[in-house]
Amino acid sequence: MKKRVFSGIRPTGRIHLGNYLGAVQNYVAMQDEFECIYCVVDIHALTTLEDTHLLKENVREMITDLLAAGLDPEKCALFVQSHVPEVTELFTLLGMVTPLSWLLRVPTFKEKVKQQPQNVNYGLVGYPVLMTADIVLYKAEVVPVGEDQLPHLELAREIVRRFNDHFGETFPEPKARMTTFPMVVGLDGREKMSKSLNNHIELAATPEETMKKVMGAVTDPARMRRADPGHPEVCNIYKLQQNFNPQVIDEIAEGCRSASRGCVECKKQLGASINEFLAPIRVRRIEIAKDQAYIDRVMKEGAEKARALARVTITEVKQRMGLL
């Protein structure tokens, strides 16, 4: 019997290369190995959004991109978090056994307080409890995470242990599946690739838009002239080359260091390779986007699969807690 996997992704709109390389390609690869439950976590988004008028559109854009990137509704449950209301019920119940001190010590909460001091809401404090509810509502055994996310998963495990200690064995302790989530630096070279910083390349971008973005990217800041030797280890274009041209990466590095290869040439090669890689995804996306009824059906059927599991869990939890 396949182990069950859960992972959620925030609805920030169209998926970009950073999202794809960091998470989505792993989602696709795991479909054949695990029973996969993938969720667009729109309720989580409310903890940091004050303006939600684009939220519904962003959810649909993300579902469209996930399908185009290779998620198969026949192999996984793909749905929207708020379409399974049992998650908010479990969030409330788990909140009754989660010490406030555990939540206040979470580093990301402290960071968010600094970033949005005008909007330190209850949901922001309880974010890890909702994340735990997302996972254990479906009794997922495996959660794909990068090393930076391990503290969040460990807190989820602590909440599970506390619940099980109080009310009896109910939830499996979710285990991390360590994945290579490369931190894709933005095209400006200063921050990670991010839509808010406009230093990203969307999967749905046209070939022309993609090439323009790549040609405008920052490279080795110390290489001022074509004749100057480069330092590929500090060059963002080189880091992307490792993903899109791994078969010639040694040749690219040597050409940079010896100055036999210029940055413009390197960018053109990268842009062409990205466009070649994204071409089938873009074709699928265009076809999927034409059929909005199909997208509705995917979300509806995915939520139905998830709710079938969720109802069983909620009934068990209520029985354990003496509510039924």
- Active site residues per annotation: 112, 192, 195
Annotated binding residue 70: no
Annotated binding residue 11: yes
Residues 6 or more apart in contact with residue 125 via CB below 8 angstroms: 100, 103, 104, 109
SS3 312: helix
Both structure tokens of 28: 């696709």
Confirm if 274 and 210 have CB atoms less than 8 A apart.
Answer: yes
Annotated binding residue 265: no
Annotated binding residue 194: yes
- Long-range contacts, 93-101 (Cβ 8 Å, 24+): 93/317, 93/318, 93/321, 94/129, 94/132, 94/133, 94/136, 94/159, 94/163, 95/126, 95/129, 97/159, 97/162, 97/163, 97/166, 98/126, 98/128, 98/129, 98/159, 98/162, 100/125
Annotated binding residue 192: yes
Q: Which helix (H) or strand (E) holds 160?
A: helix 150-167
Annotated binding residue 48: no
Q: Which amino acid is at 322?
A: G
**CA 92, CA 102: separation in Å to the nearest integer?**
16
Please provide the DSSP assignment of 183-203 as one string: --B-TTSSSB--TTTT---BT
Annotated binding residue 139: no
Q: Of 110, 86, 97, which is closest to residue 158 (Cα–Cα)?
A: 97
Annotated binding residue 126: no
Annotated binding residue 311: no
Q: Of 308, 310, 292, which is closest to residue 60 (Cα–Cα)?
A: 292
Both structure tokens of 245: 């041209």
Annotated binding residue 195: yes
Annotated binding residue 302: no
Annotated binding residue 14: no
Annotated binding residue 213: no
Annotated binding residue 193: yes
Annotated binding residue 146: yes
**Which residues define the annotated binding site for L-tryptophan?**
134
**Which residues define the annotated binding site for ATP?**
10-12, 18-19, 146-148, 184, 192-196
**Which residues define the annotated binding site?**
10-12, 18-19, 134, 146-148, 184, 192-196
